[in-house]
A and B are shown apart, each in its own frame.
Chain A
Amino acid sequence: MNPLRASLPLLFGMALALAAPCFGAGFSLPYGAGEHQVGFVNETTAPDQELLNPLGPLSFRVVGGTCWVLDTVNGRLHHLAADGKPMATIALPARESADWQDFAVTVADGRPAAFYVLDGAEQQVLRLSATGEVQGTFGGLGEEPGKFVQVFRIEVDAAGNMYVADRGRQVVSVLSPAGKVLREIDWEWSGFCLDPSGNLCYLRWDEDAGVNHLVVETLAGKSVRSVPLAIGPHFNPDLWRVEANGETVVSFNLPEGAPNQMRIARCGADGKVIAGCPLTPPKVMNRFLDWDGATCYLGVADYGEAPKGTFAVEPFPWK
């Protein structure tokens, strides 16, 4: 056998090992109810359930090289170190029925300062201390400003203002740290984010032009800029990230092909696409992408197959 050919797998493995730190090594947790496991629901756990939607962790965040995973079924947050080892588990408040949809974490001096967790059962935001004590409860079911019908995603700015996307009322509600309603923005189910300056970024569809515009506004609602995104024919856009240089990351479904065929695109400050690739997120997962610095992470899971496999958060070096 050609010695060069024989050594190819070894060389490939070495190359992967060398490249891994550049992307981050990723994180994973096995399925289950035990310590350092993430809960799931499928035919295995609910064989008699009439209508079954496989369920597992709905959200994650990668912060400072470490990963937080929202264990929706077990009602807790897992914290994984940069090397993937479990560091801590924070129990979410026990509730008669909870539906943990998404969360945000704020950091001070390199340590988590507070968690903001969305409960889709009570339609509330819970602010928790770094150790999980409830510090505040905001929202609740209702159609008036400050109330929610179907909470979806949350972001928190440096001042502690809470931005909550509500699929039911189709708004992004901006709440002060005390829970006072500061603003509500009509929202088109199309994601939102905060840019590094703390501006609110969302999408606005121009029906006549057939184009989605990135809209950037200050907390007070003053327009910073509006840029048409040249991502071509699409539906269900999801705005994930706007960087300091104006680059924008958006995922979307294609109007042709398989129903769940998605793409992710990076647009320049002028709205033109500068990178893009296919994307296959786990079904049902809410926040399936996150960034730590320039590194993009993707949730990788199949809750229908659990407990086979793991819930993983992997670098997604699509750029």
Chain B
Amino acid sequence: MRKQANRSWILAVLVLGLGLVGPVLAQDGDILPSDVEDTSPAAAGPVNPVTGGDSGAGATAASSDDQEIAAPAGDQGTGAPASGRADAAPAADRQPRHAVKNQVSLSAATGTVKKITKTMIGEQIGQVAASFPTKYKRKGSFPYAKGTQNGNLGCANVVSAALRAAGIRIPIILGVDGVKSKLQQMGWKARRPPPFKPGDVIVWARRGKHKHIGIIARKGNALMAMNNSSSGRRPDWSSPTYRAVECVMRLE
């Protein structure tokens, strides 16, 4: 009986895991016209730092880098927590039902649930960002939204698309300050680097008429910024210090 209960639990977790991973994979690179936001978002109120959904007071409270994000509630109608962490967390720290994406990984072999930390989310954002220069290596292959002058002004477009591909529920935003303020609404913090960290959204200071924005990714002990190349009309790599840095936006 006990063995059967364990099997049922593992099966439930597997189903839950597939449900979580599926939308993330399906979303990669998809940019729908209805998702495009041309101006800075004006919506007020706290927003979940990962999903962008309204999360209620306390969900965006500052925490240390490796503090675990409150484990999600089950998304299969069970209402059961996916780990013990949620039981212990104050109600205000719990994520809403929609806040499950990217916060649980599953080992099918052991049936165990591993909690995802904000550092791990940063690494994931960095990894997704790192895939863009090869994925969109051909000039003009990135699906730039209207209003970017065919990619000349595509930096915020590229960054918000990479964040979305990494599971951050953010609309496609075409302005640097729009991305910045949206992330701030979601509880991301503006920090002055160094240090730079993978997943940091780096904002470079105004030069000419515009600021510039990218995402930090790591390889070995090197940190490069994936950002849109206006002349190349594609995402590529730059040193984070190749122009003056205004700040980085960090999930913490």
Contacts and interface: CB of A to CB of B under 8 A. Distances in A.
Contact of B221 (A49, A167, A234, A254): A234
A168 B212 contact: no
Interface string B205-244: 0011110100000011111100000111000110111110
Contact of B208 (A52, A141, A167, A253): A52
A284 B242 contact: yes
B219 A189 contact: yes
Nearest to A143: B134
B222 A189 contact: yes
A260 interface: yes
Interface stretch (B69-77, B87-95, B180-188, B191-199): B191-199
Nearest to B224: A189
Contacts of B193: 259
A99 interface: yes
B173 interface: no
Contacts of A254: 194
A23 interface: no
A188 B220 contact: yes
Interface stretch (B31-39, B41-49, B149-157, B159-167): B149-157
Contact of A51 (B153, B220, B223): B153
A89 to B, nearest CB: 24
A225 B166 CA distance: 39
B195 A235 contact: yes
Q: On chain B, which size bracket covers the interface?
A: 20 to 34
Contacts of B245: 259
Interface residues of A, number: 42
B133 A235 contact: no
A196 interface: no
A149 B134 contact: yes
Interface in B126-161: 133-134, 137-138, 149, 152-153, 155
Contact of B207 (A53, A203, A260): A53
B3 to A, nearest CB: 38
Contacts of A54: 207
A190 B243 contact: no
A272 interface: no
A257 interface: yes
Nearest to A252: B221
A255 B231 contact: no
Interface string A36-58: 00000001001001111110000
27 contacts: A50-B209, A50-B230, A51-B153, A51-B155, A51-B210, A52-B208, A52-B210, A53-B230, A53-B242, A143-B134, A149-B134, A168-B133, A168-B134, A168-B236, A188-B222, A189-B222, A190-B221, A212-B220, A235-B221, A235-B222, A235-B223, A236-B221, A236-B241, A254-B194, A255-B195, A259-B193, A259-B240
Interface of A: 43, 46, 49-54, 97, 99, 120-121, 141-143, 149-150, 167-170, 188-190, 203-205, 212, 234-237, 253-257, 259-260, 283-284, 304
Given A50-B149, A142-B137, 15 more contacts: A50-B210, A52-B207, A53-B242, A149-B137, A168-B137, A168-B237, A188-B220, A189-B224, A203-B220, A234-B221, A235-B194, A235-B221, A236-B223, A253-B194, A259-B241
4 nearest A-B pairs in the assembled complex, by CB-CB distance: A188-B220, A52-B208, A205-B220, A189-B222
